[in-house]
C-alpha cells in the first residue's frame, strides 16, 4: 500500500524483532507486529482533538492490531514495532507512543469489563422476571385448566402457559450460557494489548529528507 497522508501499511512478523540487547529467549517467544506508516501521527485518529497521549488509534490500525493479537497464543508477550517511512524516530517519543497505545487499550479493557458487568446485571434482572413470569404462568395455567370441562383441553391450556413461561427465561439463559464469555475474552485481549511493548524505528536521514521534500 502506498504511503499517502492517511495511509497505514500493516504486516505481521510472529517472531521477527528489531535487534536490541536483552533476553534472546524472551524475544523469540514474543509475537511481533510490524506497522509501516509515513509519519508517527498517522497511527492515531486524525479526527480526535485530544492531546497526543490521549488520542484514539486510527480505526484501521486498531482493527488490524486486535485481529492480529487474537491469533496469537494466550498469554504470549506482544510487541508493536512502528516503522516510519518519511521521518526519523522522534527523540523521546517511543515512551510517549508506548504510553498512548497501552493507555488506549487499557481504557478499552476497562470499558469492556463494564460492558460485561452490565450484561450480568441485565441477566440477573431478566432471570428474576423470567422466574416470576414462569411461576405466574404455571399458577394461571392450573387455574384456567381447572375451569375447562374436558381434561384434554385443560391439559393443552396448562402446557401452553408453561411453555410461555419457559420462553420468558430464554434471554437470561442465553446471557449466562453464551453471551458473557466472548466479552470476557475481548476484555482479556485488550488487557494483553495494554501491556504490549511498543518500539519506533525511524527512516534514515536521506529517506526522511526525501519524504520531507515530497
**What pLDDT was estimated at residue 79?**
94
**What pLDDT was estimated at residue 164?**
85
CB neighbours (10 Å) of residue 1? Answer: 9
pTM score of the predicted model: 0.76
Cell numbers for 118: 452490565
Give tens-digit pLDDT for 62-98. 999 999 999 999 889 999 999 988 888 777 778 888 8
Lowest pLDDT segment from 8-17, 98-107, 196-205 = 8-17
Amino acid at each position: 500500500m502506498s504511503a499517502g497522508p492517511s495511509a497505514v501499511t500493516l504486516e505481521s512478523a510472529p517472531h521477527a524483532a528489531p535487534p536490541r540487547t536483552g533476553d534472546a529467549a524472551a524475544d523469540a517467544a514474543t509475537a511481533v507486529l510490524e506497522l509501516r506508516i509515513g509519519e508517527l501521527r498517522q497511527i492515531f485518529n486524525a479526527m480526535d482533538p485530544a492531546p497526543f497521549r490521549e488520542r484514539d488509534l486510527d480505526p484501521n490500525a486498531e482493527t488490524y492490531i486486535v485481529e492480529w493479537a487474537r491469533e496469537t497464543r494466550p498469554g504470549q508477550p506482544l510487541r508493536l514495532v512502528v516503522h516510519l517511512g518519511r521521518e526519523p524516530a522522534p527523540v523521546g517519543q517511543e515512551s510517549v507512543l508506548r504510553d498512548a497505545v497501552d493507555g488506549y487499550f487499557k481504557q478499552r479493557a476497562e470499558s469492556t469489563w463494564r460492558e460485561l458487568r452490565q450484561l450480568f446485571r441485565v441477566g440477573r434482572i431478566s432471570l428474576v422476571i423470567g422466574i416470576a413470569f414462569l411461576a405466574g404462568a404455571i399458577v394461571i395455567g392450573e387455574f384456567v385448566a381447572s375451569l375447562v370441562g374436558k381434561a384434554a383441553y385443560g391439559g393443552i391450556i396448562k402446557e401452553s402457559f408453561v411453555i410461555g413461561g419457559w420462553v420468558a427465561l430464554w434471554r437470561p439463559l442465553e446471557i449466562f450460557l453464551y453471551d458473557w464469555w466472548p466479552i470476557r475474552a475481548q476484555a482479556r485481549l485488550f488487557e494483553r494489548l495494554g501491556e504490549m511493548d511498543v518500539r519506533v524505528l525511524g527512516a534514515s536521514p536521506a529517506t526522511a529528507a526525501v519524504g520531507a521534500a515530497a
